[in-house]
Amino acid sequence: MDDDISLNQLSPFMNLELCDDVDYSPPTRTSSSPIFTTSTALPNGKKIALLKSVLSSHCEKYCYYCPFRAGRDFSRYSFSPEAFAKLFINLFNAGIVEGLFISSGIIHSGIATQDKLLAVAEILRRRFQFQGYIHIKLMPGCEKSQVEHAINLANRVSINLEAPNPERLKQLAPNKQFYEHLFLPLQWAKEIRSSILPRNFIKHSPPVSFTTQFVVGASQESDLELLTTTNTLFKQFGISRAYYSPFRPYPDTPLENHPPTPFLRQKRLYQASFLIRDYNFSLSELVFDNSHNLPLSQDPKVIWAEKNILHTPIEINSSDPQMLLRIPGIGKKGVKAILAARKQRTLTDLSMLAKLGIDIHRAAPYVLLNGKRQNYQLNLW
Ligand code: SF4
């Protein structure tokens, strides 16, 4: 089928767009599937096969890092909203995909392109009564009414900030204005979300969530700059997640000779952002090197623990949940398990923590059990 071929020509580029992908490899295709799909974890943890695609790989913008940039010579494809919605629903009815992530290159302005993306979702929701997962990308320069429409149709809405501030954006995307084109839609999303009426198109759906994405390593930005903006987005705009897309050079783009960003930098950024979002760390508690980057050598939680609790370990039997959460190897589930176990008995050795699912290899140097430090190296053997 021609449409399948077009979709598959676009798939290799879709790892540029991160959206709850279970891993960050490009979309894959099994022998039984005519198209490439991405394994995606929904906000509730359920894994689904997602169709990730752009509606059009034509674009009028000149972003320095992007393979879709105007003037680059490669085979381009466009779908009409009608054709794309039909293609998706056929794939859904055949059991090949369960949800949709839809973005697009920009043709005739962000507003005109946004209308097409909204039309795809509208056809799916209204005509085909599709109740599954839809993630809509907001286009730079879209209008407030379009943000509202997207919120009404989608499970998740996102806009790519690309860079942490206007100065860095200039080095990536000369045609985009940081505040007017990218930050303002996030501001509108926050306002609309706090006042929106129940959604018309999706039954039994949790509230829409918002995410953004940064391109990491293409504009000399530091991790501190990225995490400062991320912190603002978490605390003031209520976004669910920031994605960090490590820069990869594409031939025939202005940044084709720029070095790729190590995946380890992406991993450290995620670890730090989760400390801010889920573990109540403030930005000022994170440790940065002289270049304002996270050290690559260790997990930022371990670096904090080495500095702050290695010499004053945390008593597992009496510390409050927030302090327990700061111990490497203990996450939210571990804290719950410890609190429940403490009601039954005093925790006295590492084997009791191991039975609660705690990673004792990581936690042991920073804990007291019933007042005693643990000789964890001996215990491991
Ligand atoms: S607007 Fe989007 S698709 Fe177009 S060149 Fe920029 S990043 Fe690429």
Hey, which of 69, 159, 177 would you mutate to test ligand 1's pocket, going by the most ligand atoms within 8 Å of its Cβ? 69
Detail the DSSP E strand segments found in the chain: 38-41, 47-54, 99-103, 133-137, 156-162, 209-216, 241-246, 314-315, 367-369, 372-373
What mean pLDDT is predicted for residues 260-283?
96
C-beta of 69 in contact with ligand 1 (< 6 A): yes
pLDDT in tens, 334-367: 999 999 999 999 999 999 999 999 999 999 999 9
- Domain end point (choices 261, 296, 330): 261
What mean pLDDT is predicted for residues 69-82?
92
Which pLDDT belongs to residue 379? 44
Residue 290 in domain: no
Q: Is the pLDDT score of 76 beyond 50?
A: yes
250 in the same domain as 314: no
Measured in whole angstroms, how far is the alpha carbon of residue 374 from the centre of its chain? 37
Which pLDDT belongs to residue 19? 67
Which pLDDT belongs to residue 105? 95
> Which DSSP symbol is given to 54?
E
Taking a C-beta distance cutoff of 8 angstroms, is the pair 96, 88 a contact? no
Question: How remote is the CA of residue 127 from the centroid of ligand 1, in Å?
Answer: 30
Q: Is the pLDDT score of 32 beyond 50?
A: yes
Query: Residue 381 burial by CB count (10 A; 0-12/13-18/19+): exposed, middle or buried?
Result: exposed
Give the contacts of 264 (CB within 8 A, at least 6 positions apart): 296
Of the candidate ranges 49-53, 99-103, 369-373, the one whose mean pLDDT is the lowest: 49-53
> pLDDT-based confidence at 308, cuts 50/70/90?
very high
Average pLDDT, the chain: 90
Q: Residue 45's domain is classified under what CATH number?
A: 3.20.20.70
> pLDDT-based confidence at 381, cuts 50/70/90?
very low
Taking a C-beta distance cutoff of 8 angstroms, is the pair 201, 133 a contact? no
Give the contacts of 263 (CB within 8 A, at least 6 positions apart): 24, 246
79 in the same domain as 22: yes
Question: How remote is the CA of residue 160 from the centroid of ligand 1, in Å?
Answer: 10
246 in the same domain as 318: no
Residue 114 in domain: yes
Distances (CA, A) of 18 to 33, 74, 331, 332: 22, 23, 24, 25
Residue 292 in domain: no
Hey, which of 56, 63, 72 would you mutate to test ligand 1's pocket, going by the most ligand atoms within 8 Å of its Cβ? 63
Which pLDDT belongs to residue 193? 80
pLDDT in tens, 202-241: 666 778 899 999 999 999 999 999 999 999 999 999 999 9
Q: Quick one: tokens of 205? A: 């759906």
Which pLDDT belongs to residue 38? 81
Q: Which residue has the tokens 């799909």?
A: 37
Nearest residue (by CA) to ligand 1, atom 6, is: 63
97 in the same domain as 246: yes
Residue 294 in domain: no
Looking at the structure of the chain, the number of domains it has is: 2
53 in the same domain as 194: yes
Which pLDDT belongs to residue 74? 86
Listing DSSP states for 198-252 in one string gives PPSS-TT-PPPEEEEEEEESSS---HHHHHHHHHHHHHHH--SEEEEEE----TT
Residues in the chain: 381
Residue 353 structural domain:
309-380
pTM: 0.90
Higher pLDDT, 308 or 204: 308
Residue 273 in domain: no
How many Å apart are CA 153 and CA 142, to the nearest integer? 16
